Amino acid sequence: MHIKLHWQILIALVLAVVAGYLSGKEGTLLGVVLYQVYAFIGAMFLNALKMIIVPLIMSSIITGVSSVGGSHGLGRLGGKTLLFYLTTSLLAIVTGLLFVNLLNPGIVHGVPAGEVMGLNLEAANQVADKVQGKSVADLTGVFLSMVPPNVVAAAADGQMLGLIFFSLLFGYFMTRIDKDKCTMLERFWQGVADVMMGITGFIMKFAPLGVFGLVAKTVAGIGPEQLDELALSLGTFTLSVLLALAVHVLVTLPLMLAFIARVSPLRHYKAMMPAILTAFSTASSSATLPLTMECVQDNARVSSRTSSFVLPLGATVNMDGTALYECVAAMFIAQAYGLELGFVTQFTIVLVALLTSIGVAGIPAASLVAITIILTTIGLPVEAIGLILAVDRILDMFRTSVNIFSDSCGAVIIAKSEGEQGILKG
């Protein structure tokens, strides 16, 4: 009987906690120190994730931009759609940033949670000088890094901002060359994207094993008396994400519906409830897309012309909840390492979260890959990702619901801006 991936991960998490608790740092099996085995398994999984980042980012962004950049894609309807999606994603990220700074989930009883979680704080000290003490005057460096003098070197050095910007330009101008050459490039990059999807799917088959190694290593490195602090830290992190998601879906998006589209948010909630509940149960925007389109067309009364363009594009590039989660997770890990991130570094996190939420939205375990990219960009170790996975499944259900609700709000707002009548009537 095939067990779904999320159940495999949950089982691995339980086994990891038990194994790490029983073995501790000194436990052995057949003369082998189990703590070292956990560390090896976790490092191998993280290395696999890092391995796919560059080709995955480039192929995903280039194919995505080129598909939208055709003759009709960047017209009036396309421009409005992209503007709405960028705006709502940015608002979601800023909301997440507000709550993670307010609640400080990475700090437990005034002490960085990394000391409780057994994180390698020496690794954090090596990057502390790079991310601390920067002022607004250093903001120019962020924009300079978006235009690298050598894109190959930028990819090798993990400078994701430059790589993402280059990919955006490449995808856009690819549609502006001779049609035959454009078609050839589109087929090439689509082929690369398909291969990377396959490799990503293959790596994610080993996610339960990787999660087991990461979590077991963490649990083995802490004492029983520290488990309460660990639970408190993860609980506060979960609360930060849920509160930020709630503000976005219950305040930000309804205000946009009420003041921009002049429609009743309550009626829209009612119209979209079947899709919201399906998204919550499946944790998949793509799987929910057919029902989302049905609810938007039949219940919200948006035309097929608008919904058939806005919603599939939204399922690909509009990930408000995911972008918010990425930002909170990156800040949580930074706090756990005891780093006080300044405005410049937080701005960088916001920017990369916004771009990666577009670039990797359609791939399996998109948030996991995106968080890896963000941490790599600001120079932080990624070993704490395993801890986030402990609460990732339940948060994935909530953020997916936010994703599809944002898509539906975009369809309604854009339809009203196009002069459509009868929306949310009858």
For residue 164, pLDDT beyond 90: no
- For residue range 360-370, list pLDDT tens digits in order: 555 556 667 77
pLDDT of residue 6: 65
- Asked whether residue 59 is domain-assigned, the answer is yes
- Asked whether residue 150 is domain-assigned, the answer is yes
pLDDT of residue 393: 73
pLDDT of residue 136: 46
Q: Crossing angle for the helix pair 392-417 and 76-103, nearest 10 degrees? A: 140
- Asked whether residue 20 is domain-assigned, the answer is yes
| Lowest-pLDDT choice from 84-88, 100-104, 231-235, 285-289 | 285-289
pLDDT of residue 389: 72
Domain containing residue 209: CATH number: 1.10.3860
Q: Give the pairing of strands 32-33 and 107-108.
A: unpaired
pLDDT of residue 226: 65
3: left (phi over 0), alpha (psi -120 to 50) or beta: beta
Span 279-295, mean pLDDT? 78
For residue 350, pLDDT beyond 60: yes
Helices assigned H by DSSP within 206-342: 207-220, 227-247, 253-256, 265-282, 285-294, 304-317, 320-336
Residue 128: which pLDDT band, with cuts at 50, 70 and 90?
Answer: low
Span 76-80, mean pLDDT? 78
Span 133-157, mean pLDDT? 69
- Asked whether residue 425 is domain-assigned, the answer is no
CA proximity to 257, closest of 406, 426, 90, 404:
406
More confident residue, 323 or 56: 323
For residue 188, pLDDT beyond 80: yes
The rounded distance, in Å, linking the Cα atoms of 303 and 411 is: 9
pLDDT of residue 236: 92
pLDDT of residue 337: 82
Q: For CA atoms 302, 307, 311, 314, give the dihedral sign.
A: negative
Span 72-85, mean pLDDT? 74
- Asked whether residue 426 is domain-assigned, the answer is no
pLDDT of residue 69: 60
For residue 277, pLDDT beyond 90: no
- Asked whether residue 122 is domain-assigned, the answer is yes
Span 255-277, mean pLDDT? 91
116 within 8 A of 108, measured Cβ to Cβ: yes
Tally of structural domains, the chain = 1
CA proximity to 247, closest of 395, 91, 400:
91
pLDDT of residue 391: 79
φ, ψ dihedrals at 26, nearest 5°: -105, -5
Which domain, by its residues, includes 253?
5-417
Residue indicated by tokens 């949670």: 113
Both structure tokens of 202: 């293959």
Residue 135: which pLDDT band, with cuts at 50, 70 and 90?
Answer: very low
Q: What is the DSSP string of 72-121?
A: TTTSHHHHHHHHHHHHHHHHHHHHHHHHHHHH-TTEETTEETHHHHT--H
Residue 125: which pLDDT band, with cuts at 50, 70 and 90?
Answer: low
**Mean pLDDT across the chain, nearest whole number?**
80
- Asked whether residue 403 is domain-assigned, the answer is yes
- For residue range 361-410, list pLDDT tens digits in order: 555 566 677 777 777 777 777 777 766 777 777 788 888 899 999 999 99
Radius of gyration in angstroms for the set of CA atoms belonging to the chain, rounded to a whole number = 22
For residue 223, pLDDT beyond 70: no
More confident residue, 16 or 121: 16
Residue indicated by tokens 């460096």: 141
For residue 141, pLDDT beyond 80: no
- Asked whether residue 88 is domain-assigned, the answer is yes
